[in-house]
Each structure stands twice: as structure tokens, then as C-alpha cells.
Structure 1
Amino acid sequence: MTTIASNAPASADRERSRTPDPGVAAARRRRRILSQWLFIAPAVLYMLAFFGYPLVRNVVMSFQQYTPATYFTGEAPFNGLDNWRAVFTDALFGASLWHTLLFTVGSLAGQFAIGMALAVFFSRRFPLSGIMRSLLLLPWLIPMVVAGTVWRRVLDQETGVLNEALQGLRLTSSTIPWLSSPDFALLSVVLVNIWIGIPFNMVILYGGLQEIPKEIREAAVLDGASPLRAFFGVTLPMMRPVVTVVLVLGFMSTVKILDLILALTNGGPAHATETLGTHTYQLSFLQLDFGQGAVVGNVLILISMVFAVIYLRANRDGLGR
């Protein structure tokens, strides 16, 4: 009994020594949180300086009468909703929004359909497949301005290679005004953008196809499903996270394209290829109405932010799987 009684205080002391002091635990937790913030502080400062400040400045500018004189006088009086009212009541803004929708949807549909077809094609090994995939990446590596300049020469009505080829094959009796007619200009710009975006879609979708076990597709075929039905019933549903990411990223890069359209048509003819991106450029740098240009830019940023949230949610769901 004496031995047991003498051991009880000693065991209690050891138990107290194992229990961390609340003050020490709180200090350690604060140091851990501080170290975490120190690691991400450079990224946060970079985002605030190069993304946060320009975004806030653009929003403020949309409520100001901001002219070239402002750069000399520093005076940019607030004019309330005048800039927003002027933009939204302008018929050209509605036309630009509609052209942006057509350009984006048409580009995404063409890029995704052809990119998926090429991804399925290259998923089957054959000689020189690697070299062919590398060559198909070239349109993606060429700068937009260079690609637009080259295609402007190709699509020229009088001296363009495309019209000469079509007439040489006797498919047309006269030259087609690909870039100089309001009926063809937007379609031509969409086709050029499809050509540029196909490699990105092909590479990402090809990687997604490689992650699907071949046994699953083979089992679907053995169960009697045709290759087309197996693709739409098995392969495509399993690629849903990859497809979502491709479409959302494609949308975010397509909706704000400016340099390609400027190189091809400069928003013409007769504003037939005017999009939100070119409309912002026209207002800000040609008409020098920076306030109204900021309004259109804010609309474009808002649309991109909506789809950025969709992308983040899709990416999170894909990682969760």
C-alpha cells in the first residue's frame, strides 16, 4: 500500500509534464499560422499589385470623366452612371455583345469537336503519330498577331491563296470576300480562331483519354455497344471533369481575344467583327474615352470571373474524384 501511495504522486507529475501548457500551445499555433502567411505573402502581394489594383482602378475609372487631359491635370471628376448609361444605350455595345457570343460559341464548338476527334484518332498508336502530334501543335505556338497576319494574306479577296485554290479547283466562279464582307468576316475570324485553338483541345483531351482504362471501353464493346455508342455512353461521361476544364478555359481565353481580330479585320467591315474586346480598344485608344472603355472592360471582366468560378469548382470536383 505504501509503495502504491508513493507511486501515485510521481505518475501524476509525469502526466502533468506530458500535458502541454495552454500558453505554449497557443504560441506554437500562432507561430505556425505566421509562418504559413509568410510563405504565401509574396504571392498575395503580387496579386494585389498586378491584379487587384488595376481591377479596382478600372472600376473607379468607369465612374469618372477620364480623358487624355487627366494625364496632365490629374483631374477626373466623378460623373456617376453617365458612362454606364452611354455604353448600355449604344447600339454598338449590343452588337459587340452578340458578336462576342457568336465568336465564342462558334470557336469553342469547332475547337472542341475537332480537338476531340484528333485526340481519339491519336489515342490509337500508329507509326509517326508522335511526329504528327508535334506538328499539330504549331498553330498553338504561333503568336496571335503573326497568325492573324498570315491568315489575312491567305484570305485576301484578290491575291489570297484560298480563293486561288478554290477557283483552281473550280469550286467557285468568283473570289469570295472572306474579310471584306459583313456576311463572311465573322465566320472567317471564327474559323481562324478554331485553327489556332485545336492543338490545346487535342492535347488536354488526349491526356484525359489516356487516363481511362482500356478494359472499360473494351468491355462496353464486348457487351454489344457500337464504338460510337461506347464513346458517348462510357468514354465521354468519364471525361466530364476534363471536358469541363477544357471548355471553361477555352471560354476564358476566347471571350477576351483582341489581337487576332485586330490583325484580321480591325473590328470591321461595318463593325461586323466588333466584339467586347475590340469595342474596349476602340473606346479607350481610338476615341480616347477611357471611362466608357473601362465600363466595357468591367463587363468583360465580370463575364470572365463568372466562368473562372465555374472553372475552380469544376477543378475542385475533378480533384475530389
Structure 2
Amino acid sequence: MSTATAPSVTTPPANASRAPAPGRSSRRRTALLRWLFIAPALLYMAAFFGYPLVRNVLMSFQHYTPTTYFTGEAPFNGLDNWRAVFSDPLFTDALWHTALFTVGSLLGQFTLGLALAVFFSRRFRLSRFVRAVLLLPWLVPMVVAAVVWRRILDQEHGVLNAALQTLGLTDGGVPWLSSPDVALLSAVLVNIWIGIPFNMVILYGGLQEIPRDLYEAASLDGAGPWRVFRSVTLPMLRPVITVVLVLGFMSTVKILDLILALTSGGPADATQTLGTVTYQMSFLRLDFGQGAVVGNVLILISAVFAVLYLRANRADFGNGK
């Protein structure tokens, strides 16, 4: 009687190499292609943003003068530039003026821009024409607008003082640009006039994206206009409001041309801001190291505000808003 033997099963060794999972090479290829696509943008950012930023930071620690451009020598002086700037009363005043100018401008631009956006959201005859006319301050170059307003606010021959005297509101001309007590307020009002159209256009676009069903539901619940605005319009408009305020802050905190054309930082340094101080230290005093310090302060302020903006947006995204 023959005994049948079972066929032996060969077990592969434990250390046998495994074949690469299918699709791994294609994923690597896809990742490489993504980096190749964004490489030009990264190189552009490094060349035109990263390098100037690094050079500006290094310059703030150097004794950088016009002779440096001929000799190439800019010795490091540690924190001397920073100490000189922070101990300068002009910098302290400019920091305070920048805060007042920025907050006043943002409040005025946003409040009036939102009011106009809500007003134009209810369409009426000639609404498009009126909106187009209100866009003109935004289209006019900043320097041109400042020169025009300088003529309007002139104490002796300005149109505004002539109108106030005709109405009997003032006996003499108001020194809009020649009084240290009024000059900064005048600059804020001019900047508000310039920034209203931008706020109005962006907020108007945001209002058009709010579903009409929400307003109908609120009216059915008996909510009044103010309750509807507070409970429906503002919450739905929050992402747009954030963008408007951030962009407005970025353009206002570093403003230079408007102040230079209106008052040149005067009278008695009453309208000096961080932007004008940077210009004055770099191109009037010719101390580029100290000018770089003020520029770095502006960059730091903008960076902090940008981080807060990104965190707020992340919180809104996480909450599903």
C-alpha cells in the first residue's frame, strides 16, 4: 500500500523585500509637479519680498549713510539705531499720530461705506449712476486728491471756509491745515473721503450675496429693521467686513503721499506718522539705518495684524461660518 505524500508549501523568508505599493510613484510625481508649479511664485516672493525684508532688517543694525553707496562700508553698530529712534520724541509722537489717523480713518470709511452700501442695496432710479459718481474719489490718484483738498482747505482762499462764512457758521477762516490742533483731523477727513468708495463697493458686493430668504424669515418673525440688520446682515457680512478692515488697515497705517502732499508732516510735526518719519529719517536726515528701524516697526505692526486676521479667519472656518 503506497502512502501519498502531501505537497510541500514553500514559505517566503520574513526579510523578503516587498514590492512598492502601486500608485506611490504617481503620488511622488504629482507632488513634484505641484512644487514645480509653485516654484516661480516662491522665487518671486523670495527675490522681491524676502530679500528686501532681510536687507532692511540688517540695515537697521548698520551705520548706513550716503557714503556707503560709494565706499560699500556699513559697519554694524548694534542697537544704536534702535535706541536713537525710540528715544526720539518725533518717533513717539508719530506712533501716536499713526494710531489716531488709522483708527479715525477706518471708523469713518467703514461706517459711511457700510451706510452707503445698505442704502444702494435697495435699488432706485439712477442708483447705478450715483454709485458710479461716488467711485470717483477712489479712481483719482492719492497725490492729486491731496492737492485738490489742500486748495479746498486753504485758510484764506479755500472753498470750504468760503462756504462756512456764507452760511454764517464761522466769522473767520478755519486753519484746517495750518493749526496743530486741526491739521491731523483734516488729514483724517480727507483720507475718509478717499476710502469711502472702496468700502462701499466691497460691502455692497457682500450684501448681494446674503440670501433674501433670511430677510423674509426675519420679517415674518416680526423683526424690525435694526434687529434684522444686527441679527442677519452683520453676521452674514462678517467675512467681508474682516477683509475690508484688514485691507484698509494695511493701506492706512503706512500712508505717506497723502500726508506729504497735504501738510508735509506739519505744522509743528502735528501730522507726522510712521510713514513720514521713515521718509524724513531716510531722505532728509540721510540716516538710512534709523529709517530702516521705523520701517521695521511698520512691518512688525502689519505682521501682527495679519496674524490676528488669519487666526480670526481660521476660527470662522472652524465654526463653519
Scaled by the length of structure 1, the TM-score of the pair is 0.90
Equivalent residues of 1:241, 1:317 under 8 A apart: no
| Alignment root-mean-square deviation, CA | 1.6
Q: Distance in 1 between matches of 2:264 and 2:281?
A: 13
Letter in 2 for 1:124: R
Residue number in structure 1 paired with 2:232: 234
Match of 2:154 among 153, 156, 160: 156
Equivalent residues of 1:245, 1:315 under 8 A apart: no
Q: CA offsets, 1:89-132, max 9 Å, x none?
A: 11111110000000000000000100000000000010111111
Letter in 2 for 1:304: S
Q: Distance in 1 between matches of 2:124 and 2:40?
A: 47
1:239 CA displacement: 1.2
Unaligned runs of 5+ in 2: 1-17
Q: Distance in 2 between matches of 1:222 and 1:188?
A: 46
Letter in 1 for 2:116: L
Letter in 1 for 2:263: T
Q: Distance in 1 between matches of 2:238 and 2:187?
A: 29
Q: CA offsets, 1:252-306, max 9 Å, x none?
A: 1110110001000011100100000001000000000100000000000011112
Residue number in structure 2 paired with 1:189: 187
Residue number in structure 1 paired with 2:277: 279
Task: Name whichever of 73-82 and 163-172 sits farther off.
Answer: 163-172
Q: CA offsets, 1:209-255, max 9 Å, x none?
A: 11112221233233232211221122112211111111111111110
Equivalent residues of 1:248, 1:310 under 8 A apart: no
Residue number in structure 2 paired with 1:10: none
Residue number in structure 1 paired with 2:309: 311
Question: After superposition, where does 1:183-262 map in structure 2 within 5 Å?
Answer: 183-262=181-260
Q: Distance in 1 between matches of 2:149 and 2:111?
A: 22
Q: Distance in 1 between matches of 2:198 and 2:314?
A: 21
Match of 2:57 among 21, 35, 59: 59
1:38 CA displacement: 1.1
Question: After superposition, where does 1:85-100 map in structure 2 within 5 Å?
Answer: 85-100=83-98
Letter in 2 for 1:107: S
**Amino-acid identity (%):** 76
Equivalent residues of 1:245, 1:314 under 8 A apart: no
Letter in 1 for 2:142: M
Equivalent residues of 1:140, 1:199 under 8 A apart: yes
Equivalent residues of 1:148, 1:263 under 8 A apart: yes
Equivalent residues of 1:145, 1:260 under 8 A apart: yes
Equivalent residues of 1:244, 1:311 under 8 A apart: yes
Scaled by the length of structure 2, the TM-score of the pair is 0.90
Residue number in structure 1 paired with 2:145: 147
Q: Distance in 2 between matches of 1:309 and 1:37?
A: 25
Task: Name whichever of 112-121 and 225-234 sits farther off.
Answer: 225-234
The structure whose residues are more often helix, as a share, is 1
1:158–1:110 distance in 2 versus 1, CA, 3 Å: same
Alignment pair present for 1:111 and 2:109? yes
Alignment pair present for 1:32 and 2:30? yes
Q: Distance in 2 between matches of 1:218 and 1:28?
A: 52
Q: Distance in 2 between matches of 1:30 and 1:213?
A: 43
Residue number in structure 1 paired with 2:69: 71
Alignment pair present for 1:41 and 2:39? yes
1:24 CA displacement: 6.6
* SS of equivalent to 1:229: helix
Task: Name whichever of 25-34 and 303-312 sits farther off.
Answer: 25-34
Q: CA offsets, 1:173-227, max 9 Å, x none?
A: 1000000100110000000000000011111111111111222123323323221
Number of aligned residues = 302
1:317 CA displacement: 5.5
Equivalent residues of 1:249, 1:311 under 8 A apart: no
Residue number in structure 1 paired with 2:163: 165
Q: Distance in 1 between matches of 2:241 and 2:42?
A: 30
Match of 2:80 among 75, 82, 105: 82
1:26 CA displacement: 4.0
